[in-house]
């Protein structure tokens, strides 16, 4: 069973999932920079 971590974008609430907390956080941060900066 694989554990999945989910981070929400603080700006829009969209969720990003990753195998690790770091991965999910990186996806959310990348999204935020691309769409909300």
Please count the structural domains in the chain.
Answer: 1
Q: Which residues of 1-37 are buried (b: 16+ CB within 10 A; e: fewer)?
A: eeeeeebebeeeeeebebeeeeebeebbeebbeeeee
- Kindly give the pairing relationship between strand 5-8 and strand 15-18: antiparallel
1 pLDDT above the threshold of 80: no
Mean of per-residue pLDDT scores for the chain: 94
Mean pLDDT along residues 8-32: 97
Instruction: Determine the structural domain holding residue 14 and report its residue range.
Output: 5-36
Give the model's pLDDT for residue 35: 96
For residue range 3-19, list pLDDT tens digits in order.
Answer: 899 999 999 999 999 99
Residue 2's pLDDT is 73
């Amino acid at each position: 069973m694989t554990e999945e971590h989910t981070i929400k974008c603080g700006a829009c609430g969209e969720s990003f999932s990753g195998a690790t907390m770091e991965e999910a956080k990186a996806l959310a941060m990348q999204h935020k920079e691309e769409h909300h900066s």
